[in-house]
Amino acid sequence: MIVIPCPWCGPRDESEFTYGGDASRPMPSLKNGNDQAAWHGFVHQRENPKGPHVEYWYHGGGCERWLRVERDTITHQVRWASDAAAKTEPEQ
Ligand SMILES: [Zn+2]
């Protein structure tokens, strides 16, 4: 079981969330048209990290906000969660 500490709702079970992908690297820009090679690389050519990893999660069963979450891919322990727009790790 993964418990995600939503900054607005408090600690909640992962069943309230939807995984949204890798947040450790930027998405390709949409400003210059549809760069298929860039999107292919972003979606399909990913790392499979062992240990701490920053991910996007959507809290659909709560505040309906996107979060950035650091989760250990081995233990599934969540170290922190913040607003996805913040783009930085929250102060501990
Ligand atoms: Zn929430």
pLDDT-based confidence at residue 92 (cuts at 50, 70, 90): low
| CATH 3.30.2270.10 corresponds to the domain 1-25+49-92 | yes
Residues lining ion ligand 1 (Cβ < 5 A) are 6, 8-9, 59, 62-63
10-37 residue pLDDT tens: 999 999 999 998 999 888 888 877 888 8
CA 52 – ligand 1 centroid, Å: 21
CA 69 – ligand 1 centroid, Å: 12
CA 21 – ligand 1 centroid, Å: 17
pLDDT above 70: percentage of residues in the chain: 93
Q: Which whole number is the average pLDDT over 54-80? A: 97
Q: What is the pTM of this model?
A: 0.83
Q: Which whole number is the average pLDDT over 28-49? A: 86
CA-closest candidate to residue 58, choices 83, 78, 76: 83
